[in-house]
Amino acid sequence: RNNHNEQGKRFAEQRNAIQAQYKEHREKLDLSLAEAKAVRAEQSLHKKRRDAIREQISDLFEKRDAQRGDRDGKKSASFEFNKLSSEVENLERAYETVGGMSQKREKETMDKIKNMRRRMSELEPEIEKLNLIKVDMSNREEAIKQLQAERDAAHELYVECKDKADEMFDVLEELFAHRDFLKGEGDRFHKEFLACREKADE
């Protein structure tokens, strides 16, 4: 009986040592998982930003190609915001520089500016949410170039995050495999310990 108890004790010590390793490894694994999730979340943000800028560029191209008048088709928040921003700027400049404006004309201009600013305030949360770029619509070609540069920068950051996340996935696979190995070893030593105790009891 004493021999079985001694052997059981050795198995219990091995089990406890493995379980301590397992606990330490789990902490390392949880930390790596949290880092990987953070990188994936950042990757998703850059992707959304890139896609939103693409939509802005697409709107500008459509507007440029249409050449005259606004069409009834759906306009994105970014396009409408930038258009209003340019119009408000032009109206304010005209109001300040053009002399001899009648009272009625002054009131109409101020009301128009006020209404445009109100609409811009309504669109602002949408712009902020997608982290869209505010561009000067008076020079459409320059605005397109600026947006293309911003889109390319967002895409580069997205690719960087993706590559980093892929590298982390390989590391995580190894960590998961080692975790499963430790768990298997801990279970094996525990079973051996139980078998020895059973023999001692007999």
pLDDT digit string (tens) for 121-154?
Answer: 887 777 666 555 666 666 777 878 888 898 899 8
Above 80 in pLDDT, residue 49? yes
Q: How confident is the model at residue 186 (pLDDT cuts 50, 70, 90)?
A: very high
Let me know how long the chain is. Answer: 202
Q: Are 77 and 123 a contacting pair, CB within 8 Å?
A: yes
Among 2-16, 19-33, 91-105, which stretch is predicted with the lowest mean pLDDT?
A: 91-105
What's the whole-number average pLDDT of the chain?
A: 82
In angstroms, the CA 187 to CA 181 distance is 10
> Mean pLDDT across the stretch 148-172?
89
Above 50 in pLDDT, residue 29? yes
Of residues 69 and 57, more confidently modeled: 57
Q: How confident is the model at residue 7 (pLDDT cuts 50, 70, 90)?
A: very high
Q: What pLDDT score was predicted for residue 103?
A: 78
Of residues 15 and 71, more confidently modeled: 15
Residue 40, CB-side half-sphere exposure with 13 Å CA sphere: 10
Per-residue exposure over 125-148, b if at least 16 CB sit within 10 Å of its own CB, e if not = eebeebebbebebeebeebbebbe
> Mean pLDDT across the stretch 92-100?
70
Q: What pLDDT score was predicted for residue 74?
A: 43
Q: What pLDDT score was predicted for residue 41?
A: 87
Looking at 67-139, list the stretches that DSSP marks H as alpha helix, in order from N- to C-terminal side: 77-97, 103-129
